[in-house]
Chains A and B, each alone.
Chain A
Amino acid sequence: MYRYDQYDQAIVDARVEEFRDQTARRIAGELTEDQFKPLRLKNGLYLQLHAYMLRVAIPYGTLDSRQMRMLAEIARKYDRGYGHFTTRQNIQYNWIKLEQAPDILADLATVEMHAIQTSGESVRNISADQYAGATADEIADPRPWAELLRQVTTFMPEFSYLPRKFKFAITAADSDRAAIRWHDCGLRLVRNEAGEDGFEVYAGGGMGRTPMIAPLIRSFLPADQLFGYVQAILRVWNRHARRDNIHKQRMKILVHELGAEEFTRQVEEEFAGFEARDVDPPRAEYDRIAAYFAPPPFETGLPDEIDRSDPDFALWLDRQVAPHKAPGYAIANISLKPVGGIPGDISAEQMEVVADLAERYSFDELRATHAQNLVLPHVRKADLYAVWQALDAAGLADVNLDLVSDIIACPGLDYCSLANARSIPLAQKISTRFADIDRQRDLGELKIKISGCINACGHHHAGHIGILGVDRKGTENYQLLLGGSGAEDVSAAKITGPGFDEDGVVDAIEKTLDAYVRLRDPGERFLDTYRRIGVEPFKEAIYG
């Protein structure tokens, strides 16, 4: 894992002091709320319905036990003993007091964490494949590039007042676990025939009210030119985006309006200039960072057999554990989706359990996923039983990865001032309705994603089943969408028809899934059945 050096630490420490000063000026009345707002938003501090919310960055979703323990301590000291993992691999605290926010940032800085650019119109936390460095299906660990990108996009002078937010996602794997084409800029690390590393660059994806899947704009960008190319993209957008309508300022709109070809031409033109000025860090800087991401010292000669005699453990094993690139090791997924629970919520005590497990069994590494779960990336197969027992004792051994109850939900009307409808109670109802684990397993892979408004923080466009909360004459109403995907088979979900109330939408999901069970071919996932037979049979089942 990356460790700060004196420079990184000095920059983050300076940020804490700057924000302490800004907060003091706000509390003293020297800054109005209007003036303070953009400053706090650059530090991840939102004013929600009931309190301030602080969003802490977890760069590319990687953290260690020391950091997780600090997140637990912050939950206890400054919040109500909870944290909430988000769809951007960040963590949010929902009950923060303004005067304590600088202290929280100072505490975070002691463990090399921050909230820089987790909100506002800037380059946001970079998300990445949660299996990076552990999965066999990637050409290299993409996180050194993500860290390099984190640094050079921090406090960019030219691009700190962008038309809107800007989100990167990066992967180096064939399976897309980072939903890269749903991002403003998606990067896939590839290797050419000469053995050189480079990126496939996708630009102009995004959700919100106008869902767009990013087109490929460069099939091979030499990796050493990444920062020049990124600046070229940002400059074209910064200069030419509309500034008169907040809903039309995301980069996806510009890419769409110019067309991918013309957008690419302009980017390439700017890029030539950046290249000539030699703006990229040297290879030595990549090497320095990459050294921190060297594979942990995996033991060799470990057994691959696992004792499956405990049936509950065997269930967990089959669902929550993924193959690892090193023989004798496995990737263990920790569900934050208990039946009837709040997706992504975790108590301080549970955070500490997870931190202990990471330290003891996973080379001190943890990952947060965009599906609001956690991962122990490097567990010896021989230790899986002990890990499972500890998780079970902490209420963290749910068996539902990628099943119907593994729901992504945004905070919705319970917290969010922009919401039209509640997301969390709906997620709770759905997971309760489908609590039976045999039924969940029979239904197979299913990604339900819920957003409380058109802003789509719950990724409903990318849900196999998506739910969008809308306001219908003053009452909460839910639209049902089918057929989306955030994976390598990316697609945007489509609305089925008229919306429902909260119970109605749960019924509609059940009808949809009953139809699926009737109509599927053997072994076929819901998404594949939908793609094969289209929306009509489902409409009939729901509305007929």
Chain B
Amino acid sequence: MADALRYRTDAPADEPAVTLDAFLDQADAASVRIEAGDDVRHLLPHLARVKLVEIDFPRFRDGRGYSSARILREAGYTGEIKATGDVLVDQLLFMRRCGFDSFAPEAPITPAAAERALSAYPYVYQHAADDAVPVWKLRHG
């Protein structure tokens, strides 16, 4: 995972992520893996001990993980959210906007390609989990 894309300055979590069930069983676990079909809301009572949430994309078409990430951010979680699995460069922008801040795609993405994709759009139309300002706010101050 050395070539993972990471947009955080803190040290990465050092323990491997466990399944949601295992995490809920083990009171000291701090890294958890959310599969596409998991209900991320089960994590919400335990956010204080979470350092890393990996959210898996079994197929790039499966967009459940976007909601999972955003729900975590809405609940105030500030730790790392990593996208794993079938993650494509053209999805990075939406993922970043939903609160993902690191990426470990199956097929590696170069930092240059990531940079290009993340800077493709000068404005956004709506709030999300990032701090991009929607155009209606720019219009009305």
Contacts and interface: CB of A to CB of B under 8 A. Distances in A.
Q: Answer whether A and B are interacting partners.
A: yes
A11 interface: yes
Contacts of B7: none
B127 to A, nearest CB: 5
B139 A5 contact: yes
Contacts of B121: 11, 14-15, 18, 155
Given A14-B122, A161-B62, A239 B67 contact: yes
A121 B37 CA distance: 19
A38 B61 contact: yes
Contacts of B51: none
A473 interface: no
Interface stretch (B14-22, B25-33, B91-99): B91-99
Given A22-B90, A277-B74, A284-B140, A162 B63 contact: yes
A157 B66 contact: yes
Contacts of A21: 116
Interface string A234-267: 0100110001000000000000000000000000
Interface residues of A, number: 41
Interface string B88-124: 1011011101100000000000000000100011111
B11 interface: no
A160 B63 contact: yes
A475 interface: no
A437 interface: no
A14 B66 CA distance: 23
Given A160-B94, A238-B66, A282-B136, A7 B123 contact: yes
Interface string B42-77: 000000000000000000111110111010001000
A218 B127 CA distance: 24
B134 A161 contact: no
Contact of B36 (A121, A158, A243, A279): A243
B139 A159 contact: no
Which of B60, B67, B123 has the largest number of chain A CB atoms within 10 A? B67
Interface string A5-37: 101101100110110011000000000000100
Interface of A: 5, 7-8, 10-11, 14-15, 17-18, 21-22, 35, 38-39, 121, 151-163, 227, 235, 238-239, 243, 273, 277, 279, 281-282, 284-285, 288
Q: Which 4 pairs of residues, A with B, have the shortest CB-CB distance?
A: A161-B63, A157-B97, A7-B135, A281-B136
Given A17-B120, A238-B67, A288-B139, 8 more contacts: A11-B135, A38-B90, A121-B63, A157-B66, A158-B98, A243-B36, A243-B62, A285-B139
Interface of B: 36-37, 39, 60-64, 66-68, 70, 74, 88, 90-91, 93-95, 97-98, 116, 120-129, 134-136, 138-140
